[in-house]
A and B are shown apart, each in its own frame.
Chain A
């Protein structure tokens, strides 16, 4: 079953700004799905429409078996939302925020307390339950919003940049938690600017840019499109001359103790080490220059922008020609 089906979703704001020009999306039940795009691409607008916070201009949205046009309340009951911005009463205690949220879904107060306790403990916030929300740190506020979104046991959880501004330790503990609830059956849609996060967590991916879906595929298929990786090599000794490398590999000197190597997918890194070693160059350590998904993301977004620019140029030329006639 599809957890989410979006067809030709459009949104034009009152001032005439088109935010979405036809977004299509399908997310399978049980999936861990990445929804990516540059700032202003339309991710948050899409999420706002799914959650009932933004009115759509056209298109359809279905959450499991409920279409938001026919049964908005039913669709909402399946959904848990962790928004990008803090959206809770800063002057309420943490436990009250969770219990009230459960109450809005019709859950009795005693059961709401039990669930709030469970999720606050899992997200390491139980000892902060009586603290006013405004007194929590940024990372704690984000975790509290995750607990709040789960308190009615949603089948679909949407997280809009849940780890923004969170330190790496907490980020990794949040990843672990999200993986666990995904394995327990909750479908998750994640938007993030940390592409490493999307790559490590998600099975499928869609990229939105300028209000349209420019890529919608599995993470593996997307990464397979990338045929080159760049590594940074840190050397034990000075390097002045580069050895001749084998085909499928290109070496560059960055400084006395650092090299960069572009390596095609079918080439072996061992070959690079051997060549360097034969020339008396010892490699101390190595890292990926950039995240693989990041490279692909930039490539796809640039390609889309070039296409848009080209289309605009052709349109302008056609208009000029029409005027000349």
Chain B
């Protein structure tokens, strides 16, 4: 395939993925906005008003970065895992497998679709946050970088989950039992400095903690972790997971007999 043909193939996968979640926006874009609004009302307004400031920020403002990033994580993951597993389930993945499109473009196309949903949902949640909180951006560059890299990372993770999934139950196990606990324990609602020393150390092995804190740095200028360490961890995860996902595709694991 020539470069232009590859570009057309990539654009096709991305367009298909984009139209897929936009067509069902009531199920894909609206629920995170409602959920986040509820978080702001309950944790921010009702409970948060009883909590003292953290690092000089009102509790409502403190939880904004974590809530935005949580929606990016869950939606980019959910988009790819459900879309790719559906393609496997309906066998429509064969449309791609019989075509000459390279595997890295198949992976790239699905990841781009997940990133698109993560970013759109993230923007919607940001709009909701602007309504409830004193929204501010400390560093637009860091904010966008973490926003984008987190979406890429969890889109790839969703892809790997879909490759191994053999039933619709399998695509909800990781989000329920791994992703959600790690996200909640990643410092959305609290600073790890509030934890006992032992639990602070345990928290440091949670990669999502680094993402939330670097994103919080981008928006508020405060973080529990070192920014460079956090960005390095995200990059290492992206490269490792992308390589692994490509290996799965190249060997037809989970998709070929």
Residue A55 CB within 8 A of the other chain: yes
A53-B1 in contact given A103-B9, A105-B9 (Cβ < 8 Å):
no
Beta-carbon contact of A103 and B95 below 8 Å: no
Beta-carbon contact of B1 and A106 below 8 Å: yes
With the chains together, A107 CA to B9 CA distance in Å? Answer: 8
**Residues of B with C-beta under 8 A to A99:** 12
Query: Closest A-chain residue to B91, C-beta based?
Result: A87
- Write the nearest CB–CB distance from B147 to chain A, whole angstroms: 28
With the chains together, A48 CA to B95 CA distance in Å? Answer: 13
Beta-carbon contact of A107 and B95 below 8 Å: no
* Residues in A58-103 with C-beta less than 8 Å from chain B: 72-74, 76-77, 79, 81, 83, 85-90, 92, 96-97, 99-101, 103
* Residues in B1-34 with C-beta less than 8 Å from chain A: 1-2, 4-9, 11-13, 15-16, 19
With the chains together, A106 CA to B97 CA distance in Å? Answer: 14
**Residues of B with C-beta under 8 A to A152:** 99
Residue A242 CB within 8 A of the other chain: no
Beta-carbon contact of B98 and A106 below 8 Å: no
- Write the nearest CB–CB distance from A189 to chain B, whole angstroms: 14
Residue A271 CB within 8 A of the other chain: no
With the chains together, A48 CA to B5 CA distance in Å? Answer: 25
Residue B101 CB within 8 A of the other chain: yes
Give the interface size bracket for A toward B: 35 or more
Beta-carbon contact of A106 and B8 below 8 Å: yes
How does the 8 Å CB contact mask read for B94-130 relative to A, with 1 for contact and 0 for none? 1111111110000000000000000000000000000
Contact of B98 among A51, A97, A107 (CB under 8 A): A51
Residue B221 CB within 8 A of the other chain: no
Of B86, B92, B98, most buried by chain A (CB within 10 Å of CB) is B98
With the chains together, A48 CA to B96 CA distance in Å? Answer: 14
**Residues of B with C-beta under 8 A to A101:** 95, 99
Beta-carbon contact of B91 and A106 below 8 Å: no
Selected A-B contacts with CB under 8 Å, 13 pairs: A51-B97, A53-B98, A73-B100, A74-B100, A77-B100, A87-B91, A89-B86, A89-B87, A89-B92, A100-B95, A104-B99, A106-B7, A109-B8
Complex A-B, nearest 10 residue pairs according to Cβ-Cβ distance, in ascending order: A106-B5, A103-B12, A104-B99, A73-B100, A87-B91, A89-B92, A76-B100, A87-B94, A77-B100, A106-B8
* Residues in chain B within 8 A of chain A (CB atoms): 1-2, 4-9, 11-13, 15-16, 19, 86-87, 90-92, 94-102, 252, 256-257
